[in-house]
Structure 1
Amino acid sequence: MQLLIEQSPSYNMANSPLKMIGRKLKFMEAIGGDTLYQLSNSGVNLFSKFFGNSVGLIETRKGRLYQKPKVTKVVSQQLRAGDILLEKTPFRLTDKFIPGHWGHAAIWVGTEQELRTLGIWEHKVVKQYQQQIKQNHLVVEALRPGVEMNSLHKFLNVDDLAILRNSRLNDMELADRIILALRQVGKEYDFNFNVETTDKIVCSELIYVVYTGIKWPTKKALGRFTISPDNVASKVLNNGPLELISLFHNGSLVTDNSSLKMEQLLKID
């Protein structure tokens, strides 16, 4: 996330907002790190939001897993309530400025039947979203408009996909995680990328906030602690708490040693 923050137009705010706007797609030139420390969080949030909303509109094609009924069927059969989804979209400009391989993380809250089995279908939090769940909007994710629930069909506009699972949870613990995930719906997107603030959420922060029992790797970048999707993915390695259930790379299912492939994608020796 440090790269994303450092390359945000927020850096130029103290010098010339108009100049920043005029050069919003030339933000890769080096800018002094001390500038950001002089800005308030609200200022960083405002200009990061402007940057994200501008660049986020650029998509050169659709994902290799998009509108593939066989892929959708396979993935939906593999998914279980509470699973973590990671994706990569190299055809979107925003993907170029996220450190590491993975660009986004989300949580699959599960079907009506799964939530009934877990005994939480009538929970007051779940009841607020029963209609969305019945309409198969089972992916909770933090996007630029905020934390929302979307369908698997929409989510699969990607090239790479990983399904991660915390198999060490009992049913009660899993139910608590799902309720906590649903509590995040409606929150604003965290354009400050700060894991220590929970009133606003960025995509990988969603995993951090929901799976509190996992010791997540974070990095201090420009005065704030951040977590990237790659940090989330790293927990499937070295007998970590997460299990890699399925991995798609460049539009194809990885059938041979997916754990090794994940390690290669993360560039971990």
Structure 2
Amino acid sequence: MFARHYGSSSQPVTRLLIVISIFWIGACSSADYRQTPLSDLPGRDLTLRIEGDVRAVQLYRKGLMDILLYIDTHPNLFPQRKQTGTTVLREEQRHAARAVYRSFLDYMLALESIDHYHRDFYRLPGSAREDSLLITYSAFLARYRFAMAFIERMENEPAFDTMLNEQYPELGIPSDSYAALKYRFLHIGRATGFVAFNTLYKAHPGERRPVLRQAIENDRDYVWDAGKWDGPMMTMQNAVAIVQSSGQSAWMPVQAGVAEWMGDTKVLRLGRALINEQQIHTLSAQMQPGDFMLQRREWYLSNIGLPGFWSHAALYIGTAQKRAAYFDDPAVKQWVRSRGITSGDFNEMLQRHFPEAYRRSLEPESDHIPQVLEAMSEGVVFTSMEHSAAADSVAALRPDVSVLEKAPAIYRAFSFAGRPYDFNFDFRTDAELVCTELIYKAYEPRVGYGGIQIPLVEMLGRYTLPANEYARLFDSEYDGTDQQLELIAFLDGIESRGSAIQGGLAEFRESWKRPKWHILTQNAMRRSIADDYVYQSNRADDLLLPDLYAY
């Protein structure tokens, strides 16, 4: 059925199954870090989880829609009709195709993780069961629909087939992933899961979650029209069994959202970071106002749609006492006086010009004084080091600028406090900010101010700045006359040890090259197991197809 629309892949089935199996082994080898089953979540946690995943599905679906919109509005890059003959892709075509494919895979993996976690919906009571069914069905359908639509567009240019099957180390994706994607979503057996879900959906009519229901019906109609097939009659009991059996394994070892979503959604290790409190206190003592941190949380789904190992950035502002000592500088005092504060006191200027923000900067967070200003899902907020640096890897960087240039940077950052988070990652407006945008605009060069020079990255027609770019900038400039950043500390999380170690300069310089889903490749034993599995499985008949691909 669906397979009839597109030519079969030139890659052997054996190779595809090996690729699939590597993904599966990666997921299974993380079994030491068990997530609380959906049905075991206490009432409040279950409510938060459901609300978070409802929002996340809508956000990730919109991300996939934006990708298709970008493709459709750039016919000079993505042909709208089937091309014939041999084509040599232009550099701009290769760059655009790689960019959209990386973002596409990111959203697909995030949706898959949500779909996978909610396959136990039938164990939940009352309205939670219906909500969970709507979440898993909408995530399933979004992936199904947008995979078909994406493949249809890419197949217009045969040269894309070869290029998209390249390895994508920044996501931990091996070669032949595009062939595996086609095998999975264009396979005739995929219809079984579609019909099973539709049977369950029809058994739960109602008005709950109207936005999800609208998305479900739109995506369902698209898939149905694309296939034009008649599904078999199915009982409720069979439908539940099929849906459950097809959701046992995830393509990547991540599950989305325990309590929050998007930028701060922790999934495994149940609240325990690899960096401990003593390491945080030591790091805090090393830092100066105006420094900033790159952060990594291994089991969070952070900045879906953006590539890179480093997923978050936060500005260190210090306590009021630390700022008072650090900015007790004649040049800073003169600058403060020029702004109308006769005392020359920097903190007084912050308090006078931004009274509400300054008040919030003094409010304790779990008995800890805020020292950090960062953009998270709830907006640009003040947080403690104990909260912000409770991550799995952290790098502290210091801009190579004078104290006189750091004061305006912190001043400008205070002006952004309280603004909402920018889920579009668009740097063209100040109304909403993403984490790196706060730092970028605090140190943005302007007339009379040198700041930090870092180029923005164009992604799907928008200019943005993944946190990973700061690590890339450090590496490219290190030991040169134009070096703008100094490494203060690098705490490198080691998942297999359950702790973070003091990383070296060389390790940090290479960190931006790590895959976004770093847990797939960090553990050497896991890689060895995967290699052994591939070596032993040299025939398609020898490969045990994981449940993920059981239709």
TM norm. shorter chain > 0.5:
yes
Q: Could you say what secondary structure the match of 2:347 adopts? A: coil
1:20 offset after TM fit, Å?
10
Q: After TM superposition, give the deviation of residue 265 of structure 1 in Å.
A: 1.1
Does residue 253 of structure 1 match 2:501? yes
- What displacement does 1:194 show? 0.9
Q: Give secondary structure in 1 for the equivalent of 2:346.
A: coil
Which of 465, 469, 474 is equivalent to 1:236? Answer: 474
Q: How far, CA to CA, are the matches of 2:443 and 2:137 in structure 1?
A: 38
8 Å contact kept, 1:63–1:89: no
SS of 2:418 mapped into structure 1: coil
Residue from 114, 117, 121 that aligns with 2:347? 121
- The TM-score, its normalising length taken from structure 2, stands at 0.40
Q: Tell me the residue number matched to 1:179.
A: 411
CA distance 1:192–1:138, change in 2 (3 Å): same
Q: Describe the superposition over 1:163-187 as per-residue Cα deviations: whole angstroms up to 9, x where unpaired.
A: 0001322x22111111111111111
Amino acid paired to 2:391: V
Task: Give the drift of 1:150.
Answer: 0.7
Residue number in structure 2 paired with 1:64 = 273
Aligned-partner Cα distance in 1 for 2:261–2:299: 15
Aligned-pair CA distance for 1:192: 1.2
- SS in structure 2 opposite 1:137? coil
| 1:8 maps to 2:65 | no
Offset at 1:130? 4.0
Aligned residues of 2:324 and 2:346 also touching (Cα < 8 A): yes
Which deviates more from structure 2 when the two are superposed, residues 23-32 or residues 106-115? 23-32
- CA deviations 1:36-80 (Å, max 9, x no partner) are xxxxxxxxxxx9xxx9965554521234345x3321221111111
Correspondence for 2:509: 263
When normalised by structure 1's length, the TM-score is 0.77
Tell me: CA distance 1:95–1:197, structure 2 relative to 1, closer, same or farther (3 Å): closer
Task: Give secondary structure in 2 for the equivalent of 1:140.
Answer: strand
Alpha-carbon distance between aligned partners in 2 of 1:29 and 1:22, rounded to the nearest angstrom: 14
2:308 aligns to what? 100
Per-residue deviation, 1:101: 0.9
User: Aligned pair in 2 of structure 1 residues 176, 72: CA closer, same or farther (>3 Å)?
Assistant: same
Post-superposition, which runs of at least 4 consecutive aligned residues in structure 1 deviate over 6 A?
Answer: 18-21
Contact kept, 8 Å, 2:277 with 2:390, in 1: the verdict is no
Mapped contact 1:109–1:181 kept (Cα < 8 A): no
Question: Would the alpha carbon gap of residues 224 and 75 (structure 1) be closer, same or farther in structure 2, given more than 3 Å must change?
Answer: same
The verdict on how the C-alpha distance between 1:99 and 1:22 changes in structure 2, with shifts beyond 3 A counting, is same
2:261 touches 2:377 (CA, 8 Å); kept in 1? no
Deviation (angstroms), 1:110: 1.5
Query: 1:237-259 CA distances to partner (integer Å, 9 max, x unpaired)?
Result: 2232010100011142325xx22
Number of the residue aligned with 1:39: none
Structure whose alpha-carbon radius of gyration is higher: 2
Give the whole-Å Cα distance in 1 for the aligned partners of 2:491 and 2:273.
Answer: 10
In structure 1, distance between residues paired with 2:266 and 2:318: 31
CA contact (8 A) 2:398 2:487 kept: yes
1:229–1:263 distance in 2 versus 1, CA, 3 Å: same
Kept in 1: contact 2:302–2:312 (CA 8 A): no
- Bigger helix share: 2
- 2:139 paired residue number: 23
* One-letter identity of the residue aligned with 2:472: S
Unpaired segments of 5 or more residues in structure 1? 1-6, 36-46
Q: Which has the higher strand share?
A: 1
Q: Taking CA–CA contacts closer than 8 Å with sequence separation of 6 or more, which of the two structures ends up with the larger relative contact order?
A: 1
Q: Does 1:218 align with 2:456?
A: yes
User: Aligned partners of 1:192 and 1:198: how far apart in 2?
Assistant: 12
User: Tell me, what secondary structure is at the counterpart of 2:472?
Assistant: helix
Q: Return closer, same or farther for 1:172/1:102 CA change in 2, 3 Å cut-off.
A: same
Give 5+ residue unaligned stretches, structure 2. 1-58, 70-133, 154-214, 216-255, 328-344, 445-450, 494-498, 515-551
| Aligned mates of 1:222, 1:178 — CA distance in 2 | 31
Bigger CA drift: 19-28 or 172-181? 19-28
SS at match of 1:201: coil
Tell me which residue corresponds to 1:140: 373
CA contact (8 A) 1:137 1:149 kept: yes
User: 1:204-215 to 2 correspondence within 5 Å?
Assistant: 204-212=436-444, 213-215=451-453
Aligned-pair RMSD on alpha carbons? 3.3
Distance 1:57 1:69, change over 3 A: closer
